[in-house]
Structure 1
């Protein structure tokens, strides 16, 4: 099924449009946070990102204790409104020249907590609005494409307005997109409210189920467990090598670092989106193979980024490395939606978020000291090697004796 076909259904079209806008605004937000943090503390800006990753991890671990009792539509609208209000605080602080590192860190952590509630609720709604398997796969691809599109639109717009709009006012644009996302969710809230909700436990049972439900569900699913380990490695590389590493590397080596970084991320988004449109229009294939190939592509790509002699070469490598995203994410979504019932899906997705944010947290905590000791380029290249090694691990399991190969057979 062609990936754009689900847009013929109004609930999907409205929800998707809201997410494209919110994801584009988030690109402005993420760049502004890192750039302003780097103005305050230079290479130690990684610690600000570590706060965000830690808040996302904390919310993913314990957020279900609260949000599992709510309807998914209510969770998403609440999270969008909270995020909009928080980033507007930073916008006002910028206008009043009152921006400070403590304020930036506090708001960034709170925005991350709200995001940890929004994303699992969104993923849990997708099977309910795309019930046919072919439609569901195309819908997965469509929503996975939102961040891919944002990595084209966001950095392109950043490069366009760089120098014209103060970086602190990037937060105003982000707040507007979160408000539009909330309106889009509200417009389809009736459909989302009809989604089946898990039985709500009470007392200590609710706490245990909210925290451990995902772990319990994945026991015996070897390929899913490998995918979770792979997520951790990929996001460690993503944070250390791209989100933080290349920001600092280009600031140190480029005459126009923000424009170069924006163009690199635009190329990355283009590769992301192109791969997404192709893969989402095909059958899911063999998830194990796609997960392993994704590791090799991304690991090699990040390894090469700081070695590129010019802007064109940097953009080309970034575009190729970006193929990793749809390969890995669509394979993981297919695994989760085909192996777990709806009442477990949100818990398993929350567990995936834990693996993602654990990788980010580790990267942001250790990156500043590693950059200081070994230099920017060597650490970026080593981070690419981490993901490449995860691919070798998966390949080794396939090539090992038959019982080990059976662990990751789809």
Structure 2
């Protein structure tokens, strides 16, 4: 098994153990934060989560620059320590003075900023730790699978725990997970040392980096624009992510609180079912026929799931509808990646994938911030239903507009696959 082969290497086993605890701690903390802010602020909570996503978009490239210019081992360790300290301060202040939304927002933004530094530094360190291409591939697979499992398991567990434990317990657990992560990184610190940097060459390198970054963005946009099917798919992704973010991230907890009288356990079950649907979509994503048709049918299913959600008479129906919606939405994104890989030259795949992720995150950010206005005028059920209709309309219109191109694109994709 891939897990066994990868974890036989002590360095990778230490890294995985620390990152596993950190992933679960962050998921627990995130679930508690989402429930707390929607409970205290209602739809206005969407603005907070939209801002955090926007911060990640704006400072992501800067985090990569920092990761390439300093000792990555020290950077990873101190970033984890800083996140643990911030959460520790939040826990202490919450115990002493109660929940302070202003402090909570500041801590969330700071942790998001630190994450934009930690993630690229860790990614850049993996090749050095793996040693060869096969081990690197398996390490990436193990790390990603662990994160998906955390996103699936934690919502259900946290929903139950929220009913009996205070919010600061989740933040304490997250702080402890960062301490453990920092400890595991400290044990393998020497293996994380970055190659020596030539400081005299940093200014021209910095200028070249930003120039190359701009050129890559322009090249990626130009290539995407020339491919009508792919470019339209990006537009649909961005717009439907606006609706999805407003419905799922903000509308769902509000709907559960209003409909089922703040049943945190049910909300956790629904979120966990959504995570399980994400995992199941991976297996459907390996299909090699009718990719475009499946992609937009997936969007229609995703939108329909939100309509089924608000019409659900029981919690079990709500869980089932979100499971189906996760399969549809995640399947669409997986197929979009496959479309990218089969329609463009390999030397441009990186910048095009970056363009796709940027558009996806912009949609999520706008949806979270726009949810404040949406739920100020509509009930949670009406707002979620409206978002579901928007997703279905774009999925259905894409089937109609791009149907003549499906056969051509399927033939081209089949020749590559």
Match status 1:273 vs 2:279: yes
The partner residue of 1:321 within 315, 325, 328 is 325
- Could you give the per-residue CA deviations for residues 82-119 of structure 1, whole angstroms, max 9, x where no partner exists? 33222222211211125322211111111222223334
SS in 2 for 1:96: helix
Tell me how far apart the structure 1 counterparts of residues 331 and 231 of structure 2 sit (CA, whole Å). 17
The aligned runs of 1:80-159 (5 Å cut-off) are 80-122=80-122, 129=130, 136=137, 141-159=141-159
- Could you give the per-residue CA deviations for residues 211-250 of structure 1, whole angstroms, max 9, x where no partner exists? 6645545642547756654553454244211121011111
The aligned runs of 1:68-79 (5 Å cut-off) are 68-70=68-70, 76-79=76-79
SS in 1 for 2:99: coil
Distance 1:36 1:272, change over 3 A: same
Residue of structure 1 equivalent to 2:387: 383
Residue of structure 2 equivalent to 1:364: 368
Match status 1:57 vs 2:61: no
Instruction: Please provide the CA RMSD for this pair.
Output: 4.2
In the TM superposition, residue 25 of structure 1 has moved relative to its aligned partner by 1.7
The partner residue of 1:259 within 265, 270, 288 is 265
Residue of structure 2 equivalent to 1:27: 27
The answer to whether the 8 Å contact 1:272/1:322 transfers is yes
TM normalised by structure 1 equals 0.79
The answer to whether the 8 Å contact 2:80/2:181 transfers is yes
Residue of structure 1 equivalent to 2:314: 310
Tell me how far apart the structure 1 counterparts of residues 159 and 318 of structure 2 sit (CA, whole Å). 16
Q: Figure out how many residues of one structure are paired with residues of the other and give that number.
A: 403
SS in 1 for 2:223: coil
Tell me how far apart the structure 2 counterparts of residues 114 and 101 of structure 1 sit (CA, whole Å). 20
Residue of structure 2 equivalent to 1:202: 205
The partner residue of 1:296 within 297, 300, 323 is 300
SS in 2 for 1:202: helix
The answer to whether the 8 Å contact 2:289/2:410 transfers is no
In the TM superposition, residue 173 of structure 1 has moved relative to its aligned partner by 0.9
The answer to which structure has the higher helix fraction is: 2
In our comparison, the structure showing a higher alpha carbon Rg is 2
The answer to whether the 8 Å contact 1:60/1:354 transfers is no
Moved more, 398-407 or 379-388: 398-407
In the TM superposition, residue 262 of structure 1 has moved relative to its aligned partner by 0.9
Moved more, 242-251 or 396-405: 396-405
Distance 1:168 1:227, change over 3 A: farther
The answer to whether the 8 Å contact 2:47/2:368 transfers is yes
Moved more, 39-48 or 125-134: 125-134
Tell me how far apart the structure 2 counterparts of residues 46 and 383 of structure 1 sit (CA, whole Å). 15
Residue of structure 1 equivalent to 2:245: 239
Tell me how far apart the structure 2 counterparts of residues 362 and 123 of structure 1 sit (CA, whole Å). 27
Where do 5+ consecutive residues of structure 1 fail to align? none
The answer to whether the 8 Å contact 1:81/1:179 transfers is yes
Residue of structure 2 equivalent to 1:175: 175
TM normalised by structure 2 equals 0.77
